[in-house]
Chains A and B, each alone.
Chain A
Amino acid sequence: MSLQFIQEPLDKATPHVVPAQAVTLNVNGEDHTIQIAPWTSLLDALREYMDLTGTKKGCDHGQCGACTVLVDGKRINSCLALATVYQGKKIQTIEGLGTEENLSPLQQAFVDHDAFQCGYCTPGQICSAQGLINEGRCKTEDEVREHMSGNLCRCGAYTNILSAVMEVLHDGDVVVDNGVLITVPVASTKASSVE
């Protein structure tokens, strides 16, 4: 049996490519003028045209939250945003929240609570948490869990993310008990003995 399958060209007409134009984006308080066509996402504009690679691409389709940035203080998925329509808005990325030498309270809390492992979802988690704090709607653990659910973490650092966000959200007044760590020292051994 032999069938044919043809991956058809999606555009039957002669392909044409819209030329790049100067687009100015205000990122972390600075204007950046780049040459892009309308088809460039805000995410790719940051990563490929401005070398702001702290914002991550985890799916490129709004399904993971790794690309979360703040626009006028609100969290959005930069992968689904066309950069050109974000001119004139204040865009804030992870690089704008704090630096390695001068971490923001959220960034420090993420380090202290070990709220990440591979680190790839982390900038998105932190921008999302900053957006959550800016929104001022969530206080309880259940609320924070739900409102941090737009950011996947494949390493499974969720309980520590919750602890970090709750700490900053409540200025350190709330300590979340989402699981303790117990170390049973060697000295207490009962095992390795005769049955």
Chain B
Amino acid sequence: MNSFTLTQATAADEAVRDLTSHDGAAYLGGGTNLVDLMKYNLERPTHLTSLGLLPLTDISSLPDGGLRLGALATNADTAWHPEVEKRYPLLSQTILAGATPQLRNVATNGGNLNQRTRCYYFYDLATPCNKREPGTGCSALTGPNRVCGVLGTSESCIATQPSDMCVALAALEAVVRVQGPDGERTIKFDDYHRLPGDHPEKDNTLKPGELVTAIDLPEEGYADHFTYLKLRDRSSYAFALVSVAVGLKMNGNTIEKARFALGGVAHKPWRDQEAEKMLEGQTASPDLFRQVAAKVFAEAKGYGEGSLHNSFKIELGKRAIVRALKQATEMSQVVNPNVFLNSNP
């Protein structure tokens, strides 16, 4: 970890000014990802603008019926907020499926959006990695890449976005509010994270100096038909191999509206709006779900066989979609606001 100075800002505009007035500065939220990255020398800011004192921790209803999540509200406070539990149980469950109680008590909503990939090579300075050091190559293309993606990849990067919460936010079609040197703006969730293309060093579409101030949820929370299915290498405290967040509006056995997103398979939470449309107006059935799953993975590309390589995610991902849609239509999963039980017996 390199040496740095630190300022504790007390307001968003002050934070933006502080950050832009220092070279090599970074925002410090809860620090659960940034401090980790700094200890591995993967991020080397020379100044930190600490956001801990900013008044952005509220969770409050919006006039349009939606809900605003303060960027500095912790993941734990968000998951256990009564309005979130009642109206957006998908989000609550998804947050609780990620990380640990200790991390969720500190990690912020804004920081969750900006956490960086867990690709082994990104995390190891001794290896080539285009995301960490553009132009050095991608070690994951041929090496062990169990953690890597199969959708929307490029020859320069096959890393995945590791967040659980973001998968639900994508399905919920949240809107990200940001403030920067040029004022405030909003970013649709689908546009927030990006695919690697030729510039895998860029995870998202934030401009220099921009700070996430809030996440707005639309009114529809799919509280009657939802699921978050997370498949991983142990029952808890592991990143997703594949995860699926589903929100449905049902009329009897007919799906009126469908939104779903996948985690663990791409550089961003993966949505396929054509696949969602295939569900809408249709009667829920295993056959339909299988067709939808096939559509989602039609263009998928695996990078090697065996358990160290990730081609298995294509079949696993399809099965996960089928299972998640079944769970959401039938609400057959265990729904417990205090514990994530999808992977428990």
**Which residues does A use to contact B, with CB under 8 Å?**
10-11, 15-18, 37-39, 41, 60-62, 65, 68, 74-77, 79-82, 84-85, 128, 131-132, 135, 137-138, 140, 142-143, 146-147, 149-152
Contacts and interface: CB of A to CB of B under 8 A. Distances in A.
Interface of B: 1-6, 8, 28, 30-32, 35-36, 39-41, 44, 48, 50, 52, 76, 80, 99-103, 105-106, 235-237, 336-341, 344
A62 B235 CA distance: 18
Given A80-B35, A85-B52, A11 B102 contact: no
Contacts of A79: 35
B36 A135 contact: no
Contacts of A128: 101-102
Contacts of B31: 80-82, 85
Contacts of B2: 10-11, 15, 39
Nearest to A152: B237
The 4 closest A-B pairs by CB, nearest first: A150-B100, A149-B236, A38-B6, A143-B339
A85 B30 CA distance: 10
Contact of A132 (B44, B101, B336): B101
A41 B35 contact: yes
A134 B102 CA distance: 13
B82 to A, nearest CB: 13
Contacts of B76: 74
B3 A16 contact: yes
A131 B102 CA distance: 9
30 contacts: A18-B5, A38-B4, A38-B48, A39-B3, A41-B35, A61-B40, A68-B102, A74-B105, A77-B32, A77-B102, A80-B30, A80-B32, A80-B103, A80-B106, A81-B35, A85-B8, A85-B50, A128-B102, A131-B101, A138-B339, A140-B339, A142-B336, A142-B339, A143-B338, A146-B236, A146-B339, A146-B341, A147-B338, A150-B100, A150-B102
**DSSP majority for the B interface?**
loop
Contacts of B40: 61
Contacts of A74: 76, 105
Interface-central residue, A60, A79, A85, by most chain B CB under 10 Å: A85
B336 A143 contact: yes
Contacts of B235: 146, 149
A10 B44 contact: yes
Contacts of A81: 31, 35, 106
Contact of A82 (B28, B100, B105, B338): B28
A126 B28 CA distance: 28
Contacts of A82: 6, 28, 31, 35, 48, 50
B336 A85 contact: no
Given A60-B39, A82-B48, A131-B105, 19 more contacts: A10-B2, A11-B44, A18-B5, A38-B6, A39-B2, A75-B101, A77-B106, A80-B31, A80-B32, A82-B6, A82-B28, A82-B31, A82-B35, A85-B28, A85-B31, A85-B52, A140-B339, A146-B235, A146-B236
